[in-house]
Amino acid sequence: MSEEKFDAIVVGGGLAGSAAAYTLARAGLETAVIERGTACGAKNMTGGRLYAHSLERLMPDFAETAPLERRIVKERIMLMSGSAATTVEYDDEAFRERAGASYSVLRAKLDPWLAERAEEAGAMYVTGIRVDKLLQKDGGVCGVVAGDDLLYADVVLLADGVHSLLAQKLGMKKALAPHQVAVGVKEVIGLDEKTVSERFGVCAGQGVACLVAGRPTGGAVGGGFLYTNRDSISLGTVVTLNHIGGGAGVKVPDMVERFKASPAIAPLIEGGTLLEYAAHLVPEGGYHMMPELFWNGVLTAGDAAGFVINMGYSFRGMDFAIESGRLAAETILRAKRQNDFSASCLSHYRTLLEQSFVMRDLRHYQNMPALMDTRQIYNEFPALAAEIFGGLFRVDGSPPKKPAKLIGAALRSVGLTELVKLGAKALGTL
Ligand SMILES: Cc1cc2nc3c(=O)[nH]c(=O)nc-3n(C[C@H](O)[C@H](O)[C@H](O)COP(=O)(O)OP(=O)(O)OC[C@H]3O[C@@H](n4cnc5c(N)ncnc54)[C@H](O)[C@@H]3O)c2cc1C
């Protein structure tokens, strides 16, 4: 058993961990990152779209070397009911400007790239070792047990993802409740670059993001997602743990099959080859599931801190992970200057988060999880859209229905009071 001392130890070489390690190492701190996967990115999963603003703040020239798949230029929201799909597509030249740019990414490429940047800056990565225990002394954390080695540090950053068993062991975080987490299943389907562009109606380098409610989860709370990569398509489903077995009783692995087989999706992936299959939990409780963010000698960032927002029409976790990792590192650098790693000094992390988009957006959308937990969104709404548009577009020789009558009848079938209530809830939330 060997012993070593660092300025900072980061547990987890995902986006939060490597963003922190990059910031710390660049400032000259001796930083070790312990990652349980055989390589960074090996254990990680995302749907597929990175809102690039926080990566740009971390590394202004990121676009020159980062393994970005396609720049998202079209947004699609799809409501699926039976064999019907009602799609809203948003596409605007101005939307493609750099500010607010987002890209499809693959974690198997993005995470190693960011880890390499941190290594170049001087961080040391140890992969293939899981940290099961934190070392404590004088009422605070002073290091980690990594395999047979005892690694000491002034401060430890827990960037160990959604479970963060280490934060749970410290009492900083409660065990995950089923309504706070969703299970995501994803496939990456290989197609050649030209075929992807042609099928989605975009030029080379441009991409599409598509979020889907209804059929993929059999009406259970959750949805489908699809992102175009350079020469592949990432698609999958996400369903909240407490709704598994609900809806049409579709099993989680069958949800992806159901999604792929739907008439609106099948032609887009036809002839593709399965390249990757993965499943992962995602924290969806937002602001209300936030754990203690710091204690003596320790901080949490990224999914470990529950920094994710699912708004139905967009999904964000990676931008929060990168920014919170960077802000945790800024806090550590300040603590180093003051040679004070107490909870009181590390509370500066909370101040930085409060001043950033992280807390602002989490607080702004704090009631989103409750809104997204509304079953009508995944059942009645897709059916309503199908009924209205199916009626409007049908010309079969039968007497025409007045659009107003058609829409009125469809709305009444869902229940006007219910709709008004939901509308008010949505307005209140947004
Ligand atoms: C299905 C799905 C779809 C998503 N879609 C999107 C999207 O489109 N856009 C978006 O922005 N976000 C999306 N997210 C969320 C996003 O992927 C996460 O918020 C992001 O990955 C969090 O990064 P992280 O670094 O905090 O955690 P992770 O990426 O989970 O990294 C944690 C790291 O810690 C390591 N680790 C864990 N425990 C230990 C230990 N004890 N010892 C050593 N290492 C350990 C893990 O191996 C891992 O490398 C999605 C998530 C899922 C599951």
Q: Any idea where the domains of the chain sit in the sequence?
A: 3-69+105-174+291-355, 179-283, 371-429
Q: Whose CA is nearest to atom 33 of ligand 1?
A: 12
What would the pLDDT profile of 155-208 be if each residue is shown by its tens digit?
A: 999 999 999 999 999 999 999 998 889 999 999 999 999 999 999 999 999 999
What pLDDT, on the 0 to 100 scale, is given for residue 43? 82
Q: How confident is the model at residue 248 (pLDDT cuts 50, 70, 90)?
A: low
Q: Whose CA is nearest to atom 22 of ligand 1?
A: 303
Q: How confident is the model at residue 356 (pLDDT cuts 50, 70, 90)?
A: very high
Q: How confident is the model at residue 367 (pLDDT cuts 50, 70, 90)?
A: confident
Measured in Å, residue 14 CA sits from the centre of ligand 1 at: 6
What pLDDT, on the 0 to 100 scale, is given for residue 98? 58
Q: 42-51, 225-234, 238-247 — which is least confidently predicted?
A: 238-247
Q: Which two tokens stand for residue 251?
A: 């099993």
| pLDDT, average across residues 233-262 | 85
What pLDDT, on the 0 to 100 scale, is given for residue 244? 79
Q: Could you tell me which CATH class the domain 179-283 is placed in? A: alpha beta
Q: Whose CA is nearest to atom 5 of ligand 1?
A: 47
Which of 211, 360, 178 minimizes the C-alpha distance to 284?
178
What pLDDT, on the 0 to 100 scale, is given for residue 242? 81
The residue to which tokens 């920014």 are assigned? 323
What pLDDT, on the 0 to 100 scale, is given for residue 312? 83
Give the span between the Cα atoms of 195 and 362, in whole angstroms. Answer: 38
Measured in Å, residue 12 CA sits from the centre of ligand 1 at: 9
Pocket test residue of 315, 319, 365 for ligand 1, highest count of atoms within 8 A of CB: 315
Element holding 113 (H helix, E strand): helix 107-121
What would the pLDDT profile of 102-154 be if each residue is shown by its tens digit?
A: 999 999 999 999 999 999 999 999 999 999 999 999 999 999 999 889 999 99
Give the span between the Cα atoms of 303 and 14, in whole angstroms. Answer: 10
Pocket test residue of 289, 318, 319 for ligand 1, highest count of atoms within 8 A of CB: 318
CA 118 distance to own-chain centroid: 22
What would the pLDDT profile of 267-292 be if each residue is shown by its tens digit?
A: 999 999 999 999 999 998 889 999 99
Q: Whose CA is nearest to atom 52 of ligand 1?
A: 46
Q: Whose CA is nearest to atom 35 of ligand 1?
A: 12
Measured in degrees and rounded to the nearest 5, phi and psi for residue 157 equal: -105, 120
What pLDDT, on the 0 to 100 scale, is given for residue 246? 55
Mean pLDDT computed over every residue of the chain: 92
What pLDDT, on the 0 to 100 scale, is given for residue 133? 96
| pLDDT, average across residues 335-340 | 98
3-69+105-174+291-355 CATH, one of 3.40.190.10, 3.50.50.60, 3.40.50.1980, 3.40.20.10? 3.50.50.60
Contacts of 423 (CB under 8 A, 6+ apart): none
What pLDDT, on the 0 to 100 scale, is given for residue 245? 65
| pLDDT, average across residues 216-243 | 91
Residues in the chain, overall count: 430
Which of ligand 1's atoms lies nearest the C-alpha of 282?
A: 53
Measured in Å, residue 97 CA sits from the centre of ligand 1 at: 28
